[in-house]
Amino acid sequence: MDLQGKISLVTGGSRGIGRACCFALAGEGCGVAVNYQHNKDAAEDVVAELKNNGVEARAFQADISDEEQTNVMIEQIMNEFDRVDIVVNNAGITRDRSFLKMTRDQWHSVLLVNLDGPFNVISALLPQMCERKWGRIINISSIVAQMGNFGQANYAVAKGGMIAFTKSLAREVAKKGVTVNAVAPGFIETDMTAAVPEEALDMVRKMTPMGRLGRPEEVGRAVRFLAAQEASFITGQVININGGMYM
């Protein structure tokens, strides 16, 4: 159990990719703070299942785009677990619209959750990781950062920013024992893609050499690898998990 005794925070751990990350980390014995925004029942279900698997787990509500809510959550996590060793910046939203029709609010809300959110979480937790000389930050970016996508200029900017953030921060904290990496999933079967029209998903399948969408567990396994001791010399990297859609 590579991560026995470590504590992780997974933002947006109640559903989809975040949920899969919680189980992947717990599979290595890692305790999990499961963050959610609205879906308390889903988060509590994850926690119950994690506890059944024998790891420490608790759900924490916060809108990570809100600095104050994030700080309160981090304080609650500290009271419960004493520290956080691994952060998975997973919580994210889309507000799709072609750029000609995109409102300022749609632009800002995506940047606020997908970029300011990780800023709020990392700012609060990085000092203690540096002090302990061990930490793992794993950012969930997207294939859209690399390829662009019709109707997702706001999302592509946020996810591209996340990759740039990953590389810059990795350089800053490498000597402090903290690694910072990203994963860039292609199209994964979650509630987020359930909102995409079926004909668009068919197009995605056609553009993907493996001919299918990915599964959340397939992202969770890469996150678990980046969190593990085995990944000790890997930092500032982006792992693509996309069935070959972008190479």
Catalytic residues: 155
Kindly tell me which of 91 and 163 has the beta carbon lying closer to ligand NAP: 91
185 binds ligand NAP (CB under 6 A): yes
Q: Which of 7, 32, 77, 91 binds ligand NAP (CB under 6 A)?
A: 91
90 binds ligand NAP (CB under 6 A): yes
Please say whether the beta carbons of 182 and 238 come within 8 A: yes
140 binds ligand NAP (CB under 6 A): yes
DSSP labels for 23-62? HHHHTTT-EEEEEESS-HHHHHHHHHHHHHTT--EEEEE-
Taking alpha carbons only, the member of 12, 16, 14 closest to residue 42 is 14
Kindly tell me which of 93 and 207 has the beta carbon lying closer to ligand NAP: 93
Q: What is the CA radius of gyration of the chain?
A: 17
Q: Which of 1, 4, 5, 38 binds ligand NAP (CB under 6 A)?
A: 38
Sheet (strand 57-61) strand order: 57-61, 31-36, 7-10, 86-89, 135-140, 178-185, 238-241
Please say whether the beta carbons of 230 and 175 come within 8 A: no
List the interface residues with ligand NAP, window 5-34 (CB under 6 A): 11-12, 14-18
Kindly tell me which of 142 and 181 has the beta carbon lying closer to ligand NAP: 142
137 binds ligand NAP (CB under 6 A): no
Please say whether the beta carbons of 31 and 81 come within 8 A: yes
Q: Which of 78, 93, 111, 207 binds ligand NAP (CB under 6 A)?
A: 93
Q: Which of 166, 190, 208, 235 binds ligand NAP (CB under 6 A)?
A: 190
Q: Which helix (H) or strand (E) holds 86?
A: strand 86-89
Residues near ligand NAP, by CB under 6 A: 11-12, 14-18, 35-39, 42, 63-65, 90-93, 113, 117, 140, 142, 185, 187-188, 190-193
